[in-house]
Structure 1
Amino acid sequence: MTQLLPRGVRNRNPGNIDFNPANNWIGQIGKEPGGRFCIFDTPENGIRALGKLLQTYYNKHGLRTVAAIIKRWAPEVENDTDVYISTVARRCGLASSEPIKDIKNQQVLGGLVLAIIKHENANYEYPVAVFAEGLRRALA
């Protein structure tokens, strides 16, 4: 029997971004049936949306630490946010309250995106080329 892939992977939405009709993400093709999350046409465009949303948190909302970003990304009402924060910070090699200096730095954004994907999708990892292209699109 084959194991069912995590929802974020099935939806090609590895950040599990909520569907909002006001957001017109590149490659967004709808909302999961009976659910609340976006579906993307390719995982690269789902990775792109995740990266773009993190940049919005940093630039528009002034969220400059892993703790601040994850508190918004994964609210305590539906997540164990403290565990999420420590997991992402550890995977990025940052302290949870350490200021992120440059969200447009490929290693910084890539580390955050990868850590969130792994946390949201039971440690699932995309092929290197797929992840690299999604990150490239997020930074474009």
Structure 2
Amino acid sequence: MAQSRGLRNCNPGNLRLSKDKWQGLRPVQADKEFFQFTEMRWGYRALMRTLQNYRRKHKCHTVADFITRWAPECENNTGAYIRSVCRDMQVPSVYVPDVDDKATLTAMAAAISKVENGVPADRKEVEAGWDLL
């Protein structure tokens, strides 16, 4: 079975290329659309830092707010994405996650990775990303 683009790029959230200078980037960014990281933990760090910034800079409060920004309707079935993340986290879409809590943020990152890549996240890698925050 072929590995998903997000896993090949060590970018489990499929963060699109931008001007951000993330830690842990591969020296050469060969993918013209998505960041490529040297290790999965750096990709998880970037995913979780982005979620933290969504709260601080973009006033996202509920899981639905975060996922609507993360996976806009123009590119995704956002409703299905929200339902999947909420199912994995075992919370309602109106749940307000604490993005500074390890258990909460790693659960949300793992749930996003599962939607993006079609396979459950390696929780050790997610937690290694948390440790880099």
Give yes or no for TM over 0.5.
yes
- 2:29 matched residue in structure 1: 31
Determine the C-alpha separation between the residues in 2 that align with 1:76 and 1:39.
24
State percent identity of aligned pairs.
35
Q: 1:116 aligns with which of 102, 112, 123?
A: 112
| 1:4-26 deviation digits (Å, cap 9, x = unpaired) | 10100000000000011x20000
- 1:4 matched residue in structure 2: 2
- 1:93 matched residue in structure 2: 90
Could you list the structure 1 runs, at least 4 aligned residues long, displaced by more than 6 angstroms after superposition.
Answer: none
- 1:135 matched residue in structure 2: 130
**1:33-72 matched pairs, under 5 angstroms:** 33=31, 35-72=32-69
- 1:104 matched residue in structure 2: 100
Indicate the structure with greater strand content. Answer: 1
Write the letter of the residue equivalent to 2:44: I
CA contact (8 A) 1:8 1:120 kept: yes
Q: Helix, strand or coil for the counterpart of 1:39?
A: coil
| 1:47-95 deviation digits (Å, cap 9, x = unpaired) | 0000000000011111011100000000101100000001101111211
CA RMSD in angstroms comes to 1.3
CA contact (8 A) 2:13 2:43 kept: yes
TM-score (normalizing by structure 2): 0.92
Q: Helix, strand or coil for the counterpart of 2:17?
A: coil
